[in-house]
Amino acid sequence: MPLDFDRLTITTGGSIMHRMKFVASTIVCCAVFFSNLKGSEVGDVWLTQKSKSSSDRHFVSTECYINPGEERTLAFDSVGTIDFIIPEEGNVVKSDQVVAGLRADLAIAEEKVARIKAENMTGILFAEKSRDVAEIELEKANLANQKYGGSISAIDIARLKLDFEKSKLSVKKANDDKNVAGEEWNQAKAKLSSYRFTARIDGVVTKIFKKPGEAVRQGEPVMQIKDTRRVKIEGRLPFYNAVHVKPGALVIATFPNAPKTGADRGNMKKYRGTVIFVDEKASRASKPPTMSFKAEFDNSDHTLIPGLSTTLTVYPEKKGPKVSRRK
């Protein structure tokens, strides 16, 4: 069958014209739509789309070790012999609880003497009475001279004035002495307090290094206390990821090697924490250079065991939970 080239050309041309009209109308509609938007609105649309696409951005740090939230190694501020250690290993203690003390008979006696001196008002009262008497004698001498015209010599008046000035200085000295005695009492109390120490934090006694009756040097470890109701986990990230992480960001801790089957499969719990610190210095020990960060987790159920290794996943655009801090 012979081809009708004239008809084919007309049909093809009509199709092309139809397509051109469709494209032109689409361009006009888009131009009208965007012309009704403000520049900031266009930017807002773009930012919203960007934030939605990046809200799940995360960085992974492996082989991160769990550390206690608070840890204290306690020691005496003085040299001496241990008189008592109250708790035993495994006991729970409070931060203000006295847990150990040295023999302090001499320090106790010194504190009592210092207290008596500091509370003694005799010196001040005697000086004030002497000042009052000297003032009265000087006033009477001046009145006598006014009334009887020089019945008391000038040298006697000068001597009375000197006695009055001396008595005023005696009052000042008595007050100064009392202030010094008060400071000596504070010093004695501070010395006595160094013969014992409190737990410093709420926690569990994990180690006792000394026993009652043993001699200790200043600063020698006596007891170790840990609080694991909160834990801190440190991780490392490549510097180009770490610069996007700020304190307050969400962190998820997991244990990839935990059993996935059997009775212990429930141990694959995910723990939510918060970034509390990001180092400002990169380490060149690895390639690429890395930066360290620390995250804090609530551990009220004591399932995050210090010493274990975990994997941290950081979400820089998400906010982490608020972890109760030590009072």
- Sign (positive/negative) of CA torsion 272, 310, 228, 261? positive
The more confident residue out of 78 and 47 is: 78
Provide, for the chain, the percentages of residues in helix, strand and coil under a 3-state DSSP scheme, each rounded to the nearest 5. Answer: 40, 30, 30
Do 42 and 30 contact (CB within 8 A), yes or no? no
Residue 198, number of CB atoms within 10 A of its CB: 15
Residue that is written with structure tokens 């170790």 in the block: 224
Nearest by Cα to 127 from 163, 89, 99, 73: 163
Nearest by Cα to 225 from 246, 247, 200: 200
pLDDT tens sequence across 195-237: 999 999 999 999 999 999 999 999 999 999 999 999 999 999 9
pLDDT tops 70 at residue 242: yes
Mean pLDDT of 251-279: 77
Architecture category of domain 54-70+228-319 in CATH: Beta Barrel (2.40)
Residue that is written with structure tokens 């982490």 in the block: 320
Q: Where are the domains of the chain?
A: 5-53, 54-70+228-319, 71-203
Q: How far is CA 298 from CA 94, 245, 294, 304, in A?
A: 19, 20, 14, 9
The more confident residue out of 271 and 48 is: 271
Give the C-alpha separation, 41 to 57, whole Å: 25
CATH of segment(s) 71-203: 1.10.287
Taking the CA atoms of the chain, what radius of gyration do you get in angstroms?
A: 42
Per-residue tokens: 296? 């804090």
Give the C-alpha separation, 190 to 249, whole Å: 43
For the chain, first and last CA: distance in Å? 98
Q: Does the reported pTM lie above 0.85?
A: no
Q: Which strand (E) or helix (H) includes residue 190?
A: helix 154-193
* Candidate from 27-36, 96-105, 170-179 with smallest mean pLDDT: 27-36
Same topology, domains 54-70+228-319 and 71-203? Answer is: no
Distant-in-sequence, close-in-space partners of 149: CB < 8 Å, separation ≥ 6: none
* Candidate from 35-39, 168-172, 243-247, 295-299 with smallest mean pLDDT: 35-39
**What pairing do the DSSP bridges indicate for beta strands 196-198 and 92-93?**
unpaired
Do 85 and 259 contact (CB within 8 A), yes or no? no
Instruction: Determine phi and psi for 46, rounding to 5 degrees.
Output: -65, -40
